[in-house]
Amino acid sequence: MAEMNRPRVGVIGLGSMGMGMAQSLLRSGFDTWGCDLRAEARQTFEAAGGQVVSAPDEMAAQIDVVMIVVVNAEQTRDVLFGAHGIAAGLAPGSVVIACATCAPEAVAALGDDLAERGLLLLDAPISGGSVKAAQGALTVMASGPAEVFSKVENVLDAVAAKVYRLGEKPGQGAQVKLVNQLLAGVHIAAAAEAMAYGIRGGCDPQTLYDVITQSAGNSWMFENRVPHILAGDYTPHSAVDIFVKDLGLVFDTAHRDKFPLPLTAQALTMFTQASAQGYGREDDAAVVKIFPGVALPDRAANDSAEEG
């Protein structure tokens, strides 16, 4: 802990986001440990110069800060407090940075449970996608006490282009992240609905994209995801099932408070339908495939057009 100016960092979860973050930390000169169940992910990180373990508790004594980059609150609790959880082995005063998209209440409860063991929590969900993760250019929507921020400021700077400080309490970052996910999910589904409607109405898909991106109907997601539809390429950057999860979480938090979210509910149904039709692991733009009788651009046609 004497090294808090340049803490030793562990990253749990070397998926498309965590791997980029762990490698960004290495590039910034941090002594960095990576943890993942998958041997392939460990090998990739080791080849990049990182140190690796297959279970969280194995690196507890080697690190001062742990970033948890898993998919939800349940997994976050498991890597902290489960059979191989890291919390028991961390020195008091160590910082846990929770990056998964979680319900605000779940994050607040996590903070209480960590405090009981003398550990500190930063609520720090991330946004930006795997490309920005690899560049160390994520957006972090963080909340926590000022003294926790100051302990990990240089760690956050290594992975993020922009760190928002959204309050003193864990859960405030999570709440803003959920608002972002609500909009992101609804906008992807709206982009799909608009393209399906326009193509069915005889519009040329590329022309539609060109006009809408210059008009009041544009969104960040329309601009980013519709090119996947135009190319007929549904290789997952972020999968349909991620929005089944995230919009489900948004919907559940509101439903518990008896608060209506009509568009969220509808978009959640659309992603769920796409998943049920077998597109869960395709790129989230594949939600366009739920619209029947639409002549979507075809990947093979695009490829041969490029060759011709």
Helices 205-212 and 220-231: crossing angle in degrees, nearest 10, is 170
Among 35, 190, 242, 286, binds a copy of itself (CB under 8 A): 190
Beta-strand ranges (E) seen in 76-210 are: 95-98, 120-123, 126-127, 138-142, 160-165
Instruction: Specify the 3-state DSSP secondary structure of 260.
Output: coil
- From the CB of 10, what's the least distance to a copy of itself, in Å? 27
| Binding residue (CB under 8 A) for a copy of itself from 32, 51, 172, 275 | 172
Q: Is residue 176 a contact residue for a copy of itself (CB under 8 A)?
A: yes
Interacting residues with a copy of itself between 213 and 252 (CB under 8 A): 214-222, 224, 250
Q: What angle do CA 220, 164, 99 make, to 5 degrees?
A: 85
Q: CA–CA distance from 117 to each of 77, 88, 129, 228 (Å)?
A: 14, 8, 33, 47
Determine, following the binding rule CB under 8 A, whether residue 9 of this chain makes contact with a copy of itself: no
- Taking CB under 8 A as the criterion, the residue among 43, 150, 206, 207 binding a copy of itself is 207
Rounded-to-integer distance, Cα 165 and Cα 144, Å: 8
* Residue from the set 47, 146, 262, 295 that interacts with a copy of itself by CB under 8 A: 262
- Cα–Cα nearest to 100, from 151, 63, 66: 66
Q: Are the CB atoms for 196 and 293 separated by under 8 Å?
A: no
Q: Find the catalytic residue in 132, 151, 177, 289.
A: 177
308 binds a copy of itself (CB under 8 A): no
Q: Is 177 a catalytic residue?
A: yes
Cα–Cα distance, 30 to 46 (Å, whole number): 14
Examine residue 130 and tell whether it contacts a copy of itself (CB under 8 A): no
Q: Which residues belong to the active site?
A: 177
Q: Which residues lie near a copy of itself (CB under 8 A)?
A: 104, 127-129, 139, 141, 162, 164, 166, 172, 175-176, 178-184, 186-187, 189-191, 193-195, 197-198, 200-203, 207-208, 210-212, 214-222, 224, 250, 253-254, 257, 259-267, 269-270, 291, 293
